[in-house]
Each structure stands twice: as C-alpha cells, then as structure tokens.
Amino acid sequence: MLAGCTGRDESQVNLGPDTKLAIEETQIIADTKKFMSTVDYPQESGDGLPQVEFDAELFQPPDSPPEIEFRLTNTGPQRLFYVGQFYPFSRLGSRSHELLLLPELNPDRRYQAYGAVDPDGPQSRDGLIPDSNPEDCWRANGEPIKLLTGIVPQLDTGETIANRSAILVGPNAPCPPAETQILSNIFSIGGARENVTELVVKLRVTQTLL
C-alpha cells in the first residue's frame, strides 16, 4: 500500500557547475512488495498504515556540496521505531550508486561513526568531503563505510526526528546523467519486523550544458 506521496516545488541545488538537483517527489511505501529497494525484508505483522509523515528539503551551503535534510514525524501513538544509526535516513547512496550521502554526525548520538573503505584513506566525514569543487561535480575523497548499528528510539505523538546529509558522487563516479535518482531507506515500527516501511526521495538531475 502506498501510504503517502508528495510532489515538490522547483527549488534546485548545484551538484556541479552544470549539474543540478531538485526533489521530484517523496513517498512513504508500506507494502513490501512495492518497495524500491531490492533488499528482501520480510514482515511478520502490521497494523495498517504506518501513521508517519515524511519530508525532505535541499540546501545549498556556500562553497560546499549540496545537502538534503530528511524529517520523519510520528503521527500515531507513542511507539518504538527500529531504525539505523543515522535515523531517519541511514542509507549512504542512491539506488544506482551514483550519488553518495554523507550524514552529519550528531554529538548526542555517540554510536554514530563511519570512515573510509580504504584504510589509508580519510577516516572522518570532513576528510571524505573535498575542500573545493572548481570544475566537476562534488566528488567524495573516498568510499565511506559505516557501522551496522540498529537503534530503537521511542517517539511520542507528533515528535519529529531529522538528519542532514551532504550529497556527492562517489570517488570514481562521473557526474550523473539527466535522469531521476532514487534514495530509499527501510525501517520498522513497533517491532523489528512489524510495520516495515520504506521512505523514498526521487531526485531529478538536470544538465545545463549539453
């Protein structure tokens, strides 16, 4: 069941001098058979619609890669949310693996950490993000690796959790073509395999120089 679908305005950010990103659509998908992700995620039980609201917003910091903020609100009763360490959105890449997300580290969440796949590469978020981007898309200085940590925060009715990530391309990836890039993240509500829900953001990539 498609629990929610929201269209977006035309605000854009610059991934590179000739590459722009805009949020095309956000979705909440509660039917595991319709998930965008290819991960097999069985669902033991559920109580209907997930009763959440989801939103995403793009930001363009000066002299830095663009950022995306994810916000998830519990519109149901007080419940436990089974999420990843960078909740509400812990996936580090797009479905095509062309876009890379580097979430900010929250000092109040000491379990958050990641480094680079290459042991000789940068081992911090700041080290993975380049200082400048003169001619190309913002490209990560390494391939990130994260801890596979599950977190179970309890959210009250109306409570919102959020995180923000820098958007880059992988260290060996080209700028993405003009197409739709899909970001997706799976979590569950009430139990480890109950009310399994997927959050989806569709990013439209446009090229200004063809």
In this prediction, residues 2-26 reach a mean pLDDT of 79
* Across 179-201, average pLDDT: 91
CA distances (Å), origin 72, targets 51, 88, 178: 11, 6, 28
- Per residue in 43-55, pLDDT (tens digit) is 655 556 789 999 9
Model-level pTM?
Answer: 0.87
Taking only the tens place, the pLDDT of each residue in 56-108 is 999 999 999 999 999 999 999 999 999 988 889 888 889 888 999 999 987 67
- Is 70 exceeded by the pLDDT of residue 42? no
Average pLDDT value for residue range 182-210: 90
* Higher pLDDT, residue 3 or 176: 176
The ranges assigned to domains in the chain are: 2-207
The residue assigned the tokens 């890449």 is 93
Residue showing tokens 């993000």: 129
37's CB contacts (< 8 A; 6+ apart) are: 95, 184, 186, 198
**CA quadruple 70, 83, 53, 183: dihedral positive or negative?**
positive
Query: Looking at the predicted structure, is the pLDDT value of residue 204 above 70?
Result: yes
Confidence of residue 178 (pLDDT cuts 50, 70, 90): very high
Kindly report the average pLDDT of the chain as a whole number. 85
